[in-house]
Structure 1
Amino acid sequence: MRKAIEDEMTYKFSSVMHITDSSIVRAQIQKESYGFGTFVATRIAEVQSKSDPNEWWWIASGLNPADLLTRPQDPLNVAVVYSWKYGPEFMALPLEVWPISQSVNCELPDRIHVNLAQYSVHEETIIDASKFNNYNMLIAVTARIFNIVKVKSFKGVLKKLEPRSLKEAERFWIMQAQKSLPENWKKCFQRLGPFQAEDGTIMVGQRMERWLKHNWNQDSFILLPGKHPFTVLYISYLHRLDHAGVDVTLCKLQSKFWVPSARKIIRSIKRGCILCRKLDAKVEGQRMGQISDERMSPCPAFYHTAVDIFGHFQIKDNVKKRTTGKAYGVIFNCIVTRAVYIDVVDGYDTYSFLKCFRRFTAVHGYPDTVHSDLGSQLVSASKELKSDNNWNIHEITEFGAKEGLKWKFNRSADAAWQNGVSEALIKSVKRSLSMLIGTTILTFSDLQTTFFEIANLMNERPIGIKPGMDVELGTYLCPNDLLLGRASNKVPSGSWSTSGDTKKRLNFIQNVVDTFWRKWQRDYFPTLIVRQKWHTDKRNVQPGDIVLIKDTNVVRGKWKMGQVVDTETGRDNKVRDVSIRYKIQRPGKYKGQSDTVIKRSVHKLVVLLPVEEQ
């Protein structure tokens, strides 16, 4: 390379410097070529014929940019490393301060003698077991080094591994691991019946030695320290055979070895196993968030409303009795008073939902805020309410805007618990339907009548402190106390004033409302303090985490794998909603695909690889 550069360029170089991080190579170039073997001597003679030995300098490996590619490197690291792209920083300094030298003393091997390695292998471990992540690889590498020692040549690497060589390598590591046992191991493990076998291996199970000999299994157990890398590698090897539970792996381990605190080590390995995380698919969680301010202060009925659509239900035509269709239920519930309005729609579309919404506002008026999940029909309704394409929708938009209507959607899709006030009531509605109609197919008007009656029954349900707690609490509190002024829709009893004074009538109505809110603050408000579930803090999902996305309508094995790109924190600095990117996998050859970004709740995610473990 040097000769080609000098021949092809018109420049004349005042000096040339060859800088290498190999002290042996530099020392060989300073010697005469006849002192070496044929392979090395030929190359040294060629180097000396085209360069001056005094032009060769030595530098530490850490300062040599060419050394980057002699070790495993991420291509991105090589692209951004300053010394690789622009040269080392010291080259911009005067030559006198360069960290290079020609006075490097090293022992120059004229010939390679393999027999020196025998002492290193047996007396001083030259293999770092902590650098391995595979038990079989560790044993195989150790066995090949033993083969090199036996044949006294590096050709021993090519020798086929035999069971005997593998057993010798395993026994070597057992002895190495047992060196870390305390010197007073007989006293420390006296309950296990320890003893030393003829080959020097420390065994346990002396008390049961006679019984153990009458079976086909191990006569005794080999004692291994729990913290040695060899022990951890062997347990990891047993776990990866079938990725079974802790007890199964422990049974396999105790068929040969006895490891103190083995169960704790197995649990740690299982927790860190990516495949086990994928197979177990334990979704993330987080402590229940703080209650919204809207639920904490009294307000008119349905002032803050949550809405959801459920079903479908089979209905029959009024004329063609044998013709059936589908209908869906729509539930509106007040998140403060827990009052319920249930209606039916004949289609799962925006227009049908908006007709039902107009019926609701005609009875109870427009609410201040409407909470809903990210269902397609409700999101579409919100878009149409804000558009001017349809004159009917434009009229509703004008009327809703005049009344100050605001729509609020859950942050993430497929997170029904974020609209839990509606989902809990839907369960009660379905239970009531199963009791009232069972499998009977009703007409649209019959189903609507049934829904209205169920809504009245649900408005009679007690909220807050249940009846029977204390006689001084009086009658129970229910949403009908505010809607009707009484618990049920029966004719009210009592003596009524026949006075025509409107002021007395107004005071009476106001007293009914005030009584409801006093009982609401006494019986219902304290129940909002208690978290029904999700009590403990969990790790916040972080950008960069590799996750499985749990989709409700997808088979478990088909869950998408993605990466968290953004997180949203609540008022208590807890992450409950995140943005995830993933690629849509289509059949055929991959031709490149842009990332798809979705929003999901952390309760729908399985964290496979946290960012701190990458």
Structure 2
Amino acid sequence: MWTDSTTVLAWIQSDSCRFKVFVGTRIAEIQELTDSQAWRYVETSENPADDLTRGKTLQDLIGENRWTQGPPFLWLPPDQWPTHPIAEGEDVAEELRRPTTCLMATVTTNHPLPDAQQFSSFSELVKATARHLHGAAADEEETPTAEKFKEAELSILRSAQRDSFPEEVRCLAAGKPVPSSSCLITLAPEYDVSLRLIRVGGRLRRCQELEPDVIHPVVLDPRHVVTKLLIRQVDSDLKHPGAERLFAELRRKSWILRGREAIRREQRSCPECQRWRAQPVNPKMADLPPARLRLYRPPFFSTGIDCFGPLQVKVSRRSEKCWGLLFKCLTTRAVHIEVLSSINTDSFLMALRRFISRRGKPAELLSDQGTNFRGGNRELQEAFRDMHPSLQAELAEHQIKFCFNPPGAPHFGGSWEREIRSIKTALTATMGSQVVSGEVLTTTLIEIEGILNSKPIGYVSSDVADPDPVTPNLLLMGRLDPSLPQAVYHDSYLVAATGGPIKYCPTASGCSSCATTCPHCKPAPSGRRTQPLFSWGLW
């Protein structure tokens, strides 16, 4: 391709993004359809494309001429063709785009993160930071992705460390040790170059079985507002447990200086923690029974059982009662929760069969003097006596032994009575007085079971070199299982799950003429009493 315009040749050899829209769009199309190296320069006097624009007649075009045969220099070798002039056209700068966009982008990226003191929870801070970093602050309906939330959380942690440890960040980023007067000197801090975070050092970096965050947790200052929001968030997700449980959960990803002191300080100012832990009663501990000392037995070998309730569940347009049945392993401290439709022998036996199918058959069951438990024992003994003598002899050593506490002595079952209190606390903190469906109640109880099975069995050490504490889930599943609930049931979901809001009669007759046909006006069954879902007096 030949052209006599030096300006056009200069544009084709340049980037199209440097020019305005009119010129840049056409340059981009030319560069896409042709090779920029195939364009050459021809002088205006030798350009045959100008013949028709210079007033040529048809008589001039008859015969051999450069319009039909081409210019004479095309018959010469390529080294004798016209050469491209070095100087560019003077009007190239007029079509260049003004460099204002880069300056605006630079100003936008330098905005500081949202002020953490303006938020009441860590999740709200992370969500606002994610929208701020990706320019979605004006679009409230857009939901950030998981990668954006992770990037926002890392940005918050980096900002908190720069505020709390500015000298340590500068030294570690430059490859120098921290000053001897630093509060991080005992932690052997290391600088994560990829994430730009200060982490706890140690000698476990070659361990392949542990997560990187467990080996080298992120260091946080207990006085920083981000640390306080993080403690409150985990405390709320775990339904306000004790300081040891909260400390065990936090140390898996972050290391808070003087962590126990910071956690207790935040829980003392938490209204929910004050509400559920006001004036605790500490009974005198008795000697451990033999069932608590069977150390070399599988989980749920010696199991304590007890019922709690009643709980109100929504069935269609009415509310019914149900109860919970707790199985507590007296050795591993693990718990198992079942739901009973009624307090009778048949419901208890069906729950016992479900428990045995999932956890294995226990050797002994310890309970109070409940009539349902005594009825279950009686029916099992009668069925055992009716078996064939040979089968009876084979199953004699595998039968379940029932042990009942003395009447009026609940302190004999203090091990599982304390777990019932934890279940009631988590239920009240999760659903309050809302009446839910049976499916929602079962899901909530199973999530509470996971939370209780994630509690550390022993004392949680504050030494960074100590391993993670042992939990019942570790003994049951062989791994640490997250104890955070998978979902939070909002009021709108609970209303939908319970059948929707109350509907009134559409007629104007005051329900006198349609009480038998209108589904909104049928009277409640006689003898039914409405009461809150969680009534501590009934329990």
Structures share fold, TM-score greater than 0.5 = no
Give the TM-score range, shorter chain.
0.3 to 0.5
TM-score normalised per structure 1: 0.30
